[in-house]
A and B are shown apart, each in its own frame.
Chain A
Amino acid sequence: MQKILVIFKKQLRDTVRNKTILIQFILFPLLTLIMENAVTLDNMPEHFFTKLFAVMYIGMAPVTSVASVISEEKEKDTLRVLMMANIKPWQYLIGVGTHVWTICMLGALLMSTGLPASERPFFLTVMAIGFIISVILGACIGIASRNQMMATSLVMPVMMVLSFAPMLAMFNDIIKKGATIFYTQQLKTVFDEMSWSTFSAKNITVICLNVIVFVLLFAVLYRKKGLE
Chain B
Amino acid sequence: MISCRNVSKSFRDHKVLNKINFDVPEGVIVGLLGPSGAGKTTLIKILTGQLLSDEGKVEVMDRDVTKLKGADKNRFGIMMDQFGFYERFTCSENLKVFADIYGIPQSKVTDSLKDVGLEGASKIKASDLSKGMKARLLLARALMHSPKIIFLDEPTSGLDPKSMRAIHEIILKRKKEGCTVFLTTHNMDEAAMLCDNVMLLNEGTIVENGSPEELCRKYNRDKKIKVSLSDGVTKEFKQMGQDKHELADLISKGMIETIHSEEPTLETIFLELTGKKLQED
- Give A residues with C-beta under 8 Å from B: 2-3, 6, 9-10, 13-14, 17-18, 76-78, 80-82, 84-87
Say whether chain A's binding surface is mostly helix, strand, loop, or mixed. Answer: helix
Contacts of A85 in B (CB 8 A): 73-74, 98, 101-102
Contact A18 B50 (CB under 8 A): no
Listed A/B pairs (21) with beta-carbon separation below 8 Å: A9-B100, A13-B93, A14-B88, A17-B89, A76-B87, A77-B80, A77-B82, A77-B83, A78-B85, A78-B86, A80-B50, A84-B48, A84-B76, A85-B74, A85-B98, A85-B101, A85-B102, A86-B70, A86-B74, A86-B101, A87-B101
Contact A76 B85 (CB under 8 A): yes
- Give B residues with C-beta under 8 Å from A: 48, 50, 70, 73-74, 76, 78, 80, 82-89, 93, 97-98, 100-103, 141
CA distance A81 to B80 in the complex (A): 9
Contacts of B85 in A (CB 8 A): 76, 78
Contacts of A81 in B (CB 8 A): 83-84, 141
Contact B97 A6 (CB under 8 A): yes
**Chain A nearest Cβ from B153, distance in angstroms:** 12
Contact B101 A78 (CB under 8 A): no
Chain A residue nearest to B86 in the complex (CB): A78
Contact among B84, B101, B102 for A76, CB-based, below 8 A:
B84
Other A-B contacts than A81-B84, A81-B141, 11 sampled, CB-CB below 8 A, are A13-B93, A14-B86, A77-B82, A78-B85, A80-B83, A81-B83, A82-B101, A84-B73, A84-B76, A85-B101, A86-B74
Chain B residue nearest to A76 in the complex (CB): B84
Task: Take A84-B48, A84-B50, A86-B70 as given contacts and tell me if A6 and B100 are in contact as well, using a CB distance cutoff of 8 Å.
Answer: yes
CA distance A21 to B78 in the complex (A): 30
CA distance A77 to B103 in the complex (A): 22
Contact B101 A6 (CB under 8 A): yes
Contact A2 B103 (CB under 8 A): yes
Contact A3 B101 (CB under 8 A): yes
Chain A residue nearest to B72 in the complex (CB): A86
CA distance A78 to B93 in the complex (A): 14
**Chain A nearest Cβ from B88, distance in angstroms:** 4
CA distance A87 to B70 in the complex (A): 9
CA distance A18 to B50 in the complex (A): 29
**Chain B nearest Cβ from A9, distance in angstroms:** 7
